[in-house]
Chain A
Amino acid sequence: MSIDLTGIGQNRLFLVLSSAERLKQNNISIIRSLTGQGHRVVVITSNHPSAVLKKLYAAEGIDMGRVSFIDTITKYAMGRVPEGQEDCRFISSPSNLTDLGIAITEVLNTLSGQKACLLFDSISTLLIYIPSTNISKFIHFITSKLRLVDASGIFLAVEKGLDPLLLTQLTTYVDGTIDMDLSPRAEEAKKVRSGAGPS
Chain B
Amino acid sequence: MKNVNRGSLEREGGSSDRRRTKSPGANQQIWILVILGAICIGLEIGVHLFFRTAIGYTHIFYVLLVLAAIWYYQKALVVAAALVAATFLTSGIVGDFSWATLLRAVMFLVVTWIVARISEERDRAKAEILLQKKAIEEKHSALVGYLAEVALRMKNPITLMRDNMAAIRLQLESEKPDLEALKMELSVQITHADQIIANFRELNQAIVEERDEIPLAYRDFLTR
Q: Which A residues lie at the B interface, using CB under 8 A?
A: 20-21, 23-24, 47-49, 51-52, 55, 73-74, 76-78, 82, 122, 124-125, 127-129, 131-132, 158, 160-163, 165-166
CA distance A170 to B23 in the complex (A): 50
**Cα–Cα distance between A132 and B187 once the two chains are bound (Å):** 24
Interface SS, A side: helix
How does the 8 Å CB contact mask read for B140-167 relative to A, with 1 for contact and 0 for none?
Answer: 0000000011011100110110111011
Contact of B184 among A20, A52, A122, A132 (CB under 8 A): A52
Asked whether any CB of chain A lies closer than 8 Å to the CB of B121, the reply is no
Candidates B157, B163, B184, B192; contact of A49 at CB < 8 Å: B184
The 8 A CB mask of B161-200 against A (1 = contact, 0 = none) is 0111011000000000010010011011011100110010
Q: What residues of chain A lie closer than 8 Å to B148, measured between beta carbons?
A: 163, 165
Q: Given that A77-B191, A132-B149 are contacting pairs, would A48 and B185 also be in contact in the complex, using a CB cutoff of 8 Å?
A: yes
Expressed in whole angstroms, the Cα–Cα distance for A82 and B190 within the complex equals 17
Docked-complex contact A55 and B160, CB < 8 angstroms: no
Complex contact A55–B152 (CB within 8 A): no
CA A162 – CA B191 in complex, angstroms?
21
Contact residues, B182-224 vs A (CB, 8 A):
184-185, 187-188, 190-192, 195-196, 199
A127 and B163 within 8 A (CB): no
A57 to chain B, nearest CB (A): 13
Contacts of A161 in B (CB 8 A): 152, 156-157, 159-160
Q: Measured between alpha carbons, how far is A77 from B187 in the docked complex, in Å? A: 6
Q: Are B181 and A55 in contact (CB under 8 A)?
A: yes
Give CA–CA (A129, B157) in the complex, Å: 10
Give CA–CA (A125, B148) in the complex, Å.
Answer: 16
| Centre residue among A49, A74, A128, A162 by max chain B CB count within 10 A | A128
> Would you call B152 and A125 a contact (CB within 8 A)?
no
Nearest CB of A to B194, in Å: 9
Contact B157 A125 (CB under 8 A): yes
Closest Cβ of chain B: how far from A67's Cβ, in Å? 17
Contact B153 A128 (CB under 8 A): yes
Contact call A20/B153, Cβ cutoff below 8 A: no
- Indicate if the CB atoms of B195 and A128 lie closer than 8 Å: yes
Do A127 and B153 touch (CB < 8 A)? yes
Given contacts A47-B160, A49-B188, A162-B152, 10 further A-B contacts (CB under 8 A): A20-B159, A24-B167, A49-B185, A55-B178, A74-B188, A122-B160, A158-B159, A161-B160, A163-B148, A166-B152
- A127 touching B185, Cβ below 8 Å: no
Given A124-B156, A125-B192, A129-B195, A21:B166 Cβ within 8 A: yes
Provide the residues of chain A in CB contact with B181, threshold 8 Å.
49, 51-52, 55
A-B contact pairs, 25 of them (CB 8 A): A20-B163, A21-B163, A21-B166, A24-B167, A47-B164, A48-B164, A48-B185, A49-B185, A49-B187, A55-B181, A73-B191, A76-B191, A77-B184, A77-B188, A77-B191, A128-B153, A132-B149, A132-B153, A158-B159, A160-B156, A161-B152, A161-B157, A161-B160, A163-B148, A163-B152
